Amino acid sequence: MSKKLVSLFLAMLMVFSMTSVLADDAAVTVTDMYGREITLAEPATRIVALQPSDCEILCAIGCEEALVGIGQYCDYPASITSLPKVQSGKETNIEEILNLNPQVVLMNDMSQSEDQVKQLEDNGVKVVISTTSDIASIYTAIRMIGTLMGKDENAEALIADIQATCDEIRAKTEGNEKSVYFEISPPPYLYSCGSTSFTHELAEICGLKNIFGDQADPWLMISDEQVIERNPDYIILMNGMGAEGIDEIIARDGWGDITAIKDKNIYYDGTSMMTRPGPRLKDAVIELYNFVYGDEAEEVPAA
Amino acid sequence: MQKSRLLLRERFSPVTYLFLSIALFLTMVLCICVGSVRITFSDTVTAVWNAVWGLPIPQNIAKNIILNVRLPRVLCVTLAGASLSICGAAMQGLLRNPLADGSTMGVSSGAALGAIIAIVIGFTIPGSAYGGTMIMAMAFAFGSLILILSLAYALDRSLSTSSIILIGVIFTMFISSIISLLITFCSDHTRSLSYWTLGSFSGVNYDQVKLLFLALLLCGGVLFRFSPELNAFAISEDNARHIGVNVKRVKLIIMITVSVLIGVCVSISGTVSFVGLVMPHIARMLVGPNHKRLLPASLFSGAIFLLLADLVARTLLSPIELSIGVVTSMVGAVAFVIIFNKTRKAR
Amino acid sequence: MLQGEHITVRYGSFTVVEDLSFHLEEGQWLMLAGPNGAGKSTLIETIAQGTPYTGSIRWKGEDIRSLKPSELARKIGVLAQKNNVGYAYTVEEVVGLGRYAYKSGLFSGRDDDGKAEVEKALEITGLSELRHASMLTLSGGEMQRVFLAQVFAQNPQVLVLDEPANHLDLKYQQHIFSLIREWLKEPGRAVLSVVHDLSLARRYGTHAVLLDHGKTVSQGLIADVMTPENLKQVYGMDVYAWMREMLSQWQEPSQPDAGI
Q: Do B288 and C90 touch (CB under 8 A)?
A: yes
Whether A21 has a pLDDT exceeding 50, the answer reads no
pLDDT at res. A111: 61
- Name the region of A77 (left: φ>0; alpha: ψ -120 to 50; beta: rest): beta
pLDDT at res. B2: 43
C-alpha angle with apex C208: C204 to C210, nearest 5 degrees? 130
Whether A127 has a pLDDT exceeding 60, the answer reads yes
Q: How many residues are given for chain B?
A: 347
pLDDT at res. B6: 46
Quick: pLDDT tens for B188-243.
655 556 667 778 888 888 989 999 999 999 999 999 999 999 999 999 988 999 99
d(CA A116, CA C175): 80
Domain of B32, in residue numbers: 2-346
pLDDT at res. B74: 95
Least confident of A116-125, A227-236, B127-136, B245-254: B127-136
d(CA B12, CA A90): 56
Whether A240 has a pLDDT exceeding 50, the answer reads yes
Beta bridge partners of C30: C192, C207
- Which residues 70-89 of B are in CB contact (within 8 Å) with C? none
User: Touching check for C152 and chain B: CB below 8 Å?
Assistant: no
Q: How many residues are given for chain C?
A: 260
Rounding to the nearest 10 degrees, give the CA dihedral for residues B336, B337, B340, B346: -130
Handedness of CA B212, B215, B218, B221 (dihedral sign): negative
- Amino acid at site C182: E
pLDDT at res. B37: 87
Quick: pLDDT tens for C157-214.
999 999 998 888 899 999 999 999 999 999 999 999 998 889 899 999 999 999 999 9
d(CA C79, CA C166): 11
Quick: pLDDT tens for B6-54.
445 445 578 888 999 999 999 999 999 998 888 888 888 888 888 888 8
Quick: pLDDT tens for B235-276.
998 899 999 999 989 999 999 999 999 999 999 888 888 899
The residues, ordered by sequence, that sit 6+ positions from C209 with a Cβ below 8 Å of its Cβ are: C20, C22, C30, C31, C32, C33, C216, C218, C219, C225
Q: Do A224 and B64 touch (CB under 8 A)?
A: no
DSSP, res B69: I
Q: Which candidate from A185, A224, A226 shows the least CB-CB separation from B191?
A: A185
Q: Do C101 and B243 touch (CB under 8 A)?
A: yes
Q: Which candidate from B62, B200, B314 shows the least CB-CB separation from A189?
A: B200
**How far is B6 from chain C, CA to nearest CA, in Å?**
5
Residue B190: CATH number of its domain: 1.10.3470.10
Residues of A with Cβ-Cβ distance to B69 under 8 angstroms: 224-225, 228, 253-254
Least confident of B34-48, B54-68, C33-47, C52-66: B54-68
**How far is B328 from chain C, CA to nearest CA, in Å?**
25
DSSP per position, C60-110: TTEEGGGS-HHHHHHHEEEE-S----SS--BHHHHHHGGGGGG--SSS---
Query: Considering only CA atoms, which of C133, C88, C95, C92 is closest in space to residue B346?
Result: C88
Task: Tell which wins on pLDDT, A87 or C233.
Answer: C233
d(CA B281, CA A241): 42
Q: Which candidate from B64, B67, B195 shows the least CB-CB separation from A189?
A: B195
In the sheet with C207-212, reading across from the earlier edge strand, the strands are: C76-79, C158-162, C190-194, C29-33, C207-212, C215-221
Query: Considering only CA atoms, which of A288, A290, A227, A270 is closest in space to residue A76?
Result: A270
pLDDT at res. B263: 93
Residues of B with Cβ-Cβ distance to A224 under 8 angstroms: 69, 202-203
Best of A189, A249, A261 to mutate (most B CBs within 10 Å, chain B): A189
The domain tally of chain B equals 1
Q: Do C136 and B346 touch (CB under 8 A)?
A: yes
Beta bridge partners of C9: C17
DSSP, res C196: S
Whether B126 has a pLDDT exceeding 90, the answer reads no
Q: Do B323 and A229 touch (CB under 8 A)?
A: no
Beta bridge partners of A193: A219
DSSP, res B55: P
Task: Tell which wins on pLDDT, A299 or B33.
Answer: B33
User: What is chain C's percent helix, strand, coil content, to nearest 5?
Assistant: 40, 25, 35
Residues of B with Cβ-Cβ distance to A187 under 8 angstroms: 200, 202-203
List of chains touching B (3+ CB pairs within 8 A): A, C
Whether C258 has a pLDDT exceeding 80, the answer reads no
Best of B96, B243, B295 to mutate (most C CBs within 10 Å, chain C): B243
Question: Has the ipTM of the complex gone over 0.85?
Answer: yes
- Amino acid at site C159: L
Could you tell me how far CA B285 lies from the centroid of its own chain? 19
> Whole-model pTM?
0.84
Q: Which candidate from C69, C80, C100 shows the least CB-CB separation from B228?
A: C100
Residues C1/C59, Cβ–Cβ less than 8 Å: yes
- Which residues 187-226 of C are in CB contact (within 8 Å) with B? none
User: Touching check for C129 and chain B: CB below 8 Å?
Assistant: yes
d(CA B303, CA B68): 20
